[in-house]
Structure 1
């Protein structure tokens, strides 16, 4: 299993695989901002819309793949305000249903945390559906639960659910971020 940070050009090249992952994640019931059924064309367009932000350095996208099969992704969103450069938001941690239960989510999360710290980020935050499997992952990885907002987002089926806010403080490390990480899953 390899985890690699994508350039904007690589994201463009991987857009079909990323769209398949996004539709699988939504079809699997994950509340990641989309309603089911998610049209594949809409998923392709959504990923294509990320390329400019990746190119500008506002988003960093990592993908996990085994051979030529993309099984997961995670994204960090970096604020553009001068007083916010020490933090980032972890968004769209997705694992294909075929790759779940193998530690891939934990690997992607650890990669994002390590790379954020290498980039000088000292604070990460995220929101996730309350009582979801993702919430357990963040708690077990040392994230701090801040609280929940009732009826914050809809599940893919349209049901309003609470969202839990998490944060994690990091220690910045010297050195440039790596572009490829080989891991055992």
Structure 2
């Protein structure tokens, strides 16, 4: 395990974290991560996406967790609150990103555990997510006790735009 600290960004911190989060998203996509973007991944695309996500964090619609080491953000994951009136017990997990320089050190699992623990504390008892079929994420979620409930073949293009990959859908009751 690494010497990273996993923490929830406070609303007053989210805008200050923007440059590092933009860098993280660019690195993830350039490294082939299937997180809704394709090559070439530009800072402009990442900035536009994070502007929306950070706005959601400021309004309480999403919570952003980061993995930091010596003040450098090497990973992130989000809890996105279900907006439906009849689903106050549910949230989606989104944008699990770990910088290539920090992979294979347990950050994904640590970020996931922090998000799950916080979801429990705020009364969210059901989490859902989707991830690329047969990818590292799918193995992580299965290892952490998530239940795969479906798969859609050819769901989204790979970051390198070579071929559509399947998506696997998971849930976890807390």
1:96-115 correspondence runs (5 A): 96-115=99-118
Q: Secondary structure at the match of 1:12?
A: coil
1:9-158 correspondence runs (5 A): 9-158=12-161
Using the size of structure 1 for normalisation, the TM-score is 0.89
- Write the distance in 1 (CA, Å) between the matches of 2:8 and 2:40: 28
- Runs of 4 or more, structure 1, over 4 Å off, are none
- Write the distance in 2 (CA, Å) between the matches of 1:132 and 1:51: 27
> How many matched pairs?
170
Using the size of structure 2 for normalisation, the TM-score is 0.94
* Deviation for aligned residue 1:152: 1.1
* Deviation for aligned residue 1:29: 0.7
Q: Secondary structure at the match of 2:34?
A: coil
* Deviation for aligned residue 1:51: 2.1
Q: Secondary structure at the match of 1:3?
A: strand
Structure 1 segments unaligned to the other structure (5+ residues) = 171-185
Q: Contact 2:7 / 2:114 at 8 angstroms: preserved in 1?
A: no
- The answer for the alignment partner of 1:7 in structure 2 is 10
